[in-house]
Amino acid sequence: MQIHVINPNTTASMTDKIGACANHVAAESTQIHVSQPDSGPVSIESHFDEAIGAVGVLEEVRRGEAMGMDAYVIACFGDPGLLAARELTRAPVIGIAEAGFHLATLISTRFSVVTTLTRTAIIAEHLLDQYGFRHHCRRVRATDLPVLELENPAGNAYQALLDECLRAKAEDGIGAIVLGCGGMADLTERLTHDLGMPVIEGVSAAVKLAESLVSLGLGTSKHGDLAFPRPKPFLGRFADWGE
């Protein structure tokens, strides 16, 4: 099967990291295609960034449809454009936040999320409500690290993240931690070792869920609100999206 993993931001080093993580967990028979939009924010840290990034996600899904992809992963913890992307394809489309929440509930009764900025913690709380996981999550914790600090090898991002995870372990009464940023994709094994408890990272979770859905022959339902969008003209820069 072919899974298209989309980094909604435009930072190539993060795209490479996400792709390496996806390939690490994918089955031997799975081909991972990783990409990022041609234009958009270098990191996604606000509702505005998400709105711009969502357009890039949809452009990448359209390209993936032309390539015959079997499933898609949206590798940003805000899951930007998730439902719109599902409208464009019969293939499964998995957001890494939703995937991380699901897997956390399968191995623990309560979990906490550790993310980057305080403002993105609020976005994660919105998703917990939307997906129905609020009662499973004890707390969404912010490190106040900018997303791109995760790309700085000389920085102190890992220690800041570890310290917040240790506080969550000690204070929240949880059994697992969900990492709240696609840029943390390479830190799961190290954090799991240092914390002594399960740490779930959404890119890996989403890839394995996508593989499961494809193997089961389950795709995005086209009955109801996720049916293909009704054909209509589009103007301006989106003229080629319409019919």
CA dist., res. 78 & res. 47, Å (int): 9
What's the one-letter identity of residue 130?
Q
Residue 138: CB atoms within 10 A of its CB come to 16
Domains of the chain: 2-95+204-241 (3.40.50.12500), 97-202 (3.40.50.12500)
Q: Where are the alpha helices (DSSP H) in the chain?
A: 12-25, 47-67, 82-87, 96-107, 118-131, 157-171, 188-195, 202-215
The pTM (predicted TM-score) of the whole model is 0.96
State pLDDT tens for residues 54-86.
999 999 999 999 999 999 999 999 999 999 999
pLDDT above 90 coverage of the chain, percent: 96
pLDDT in tens, 41-55: 999 999 999 999 999
pLDDT (mean) for 212-228: 98
Alpha carbons within 13 A on the beta-carbon side of 40: 27
3-state secondary structure of 163: helix
Predicted pLDDT of residue 243: 72
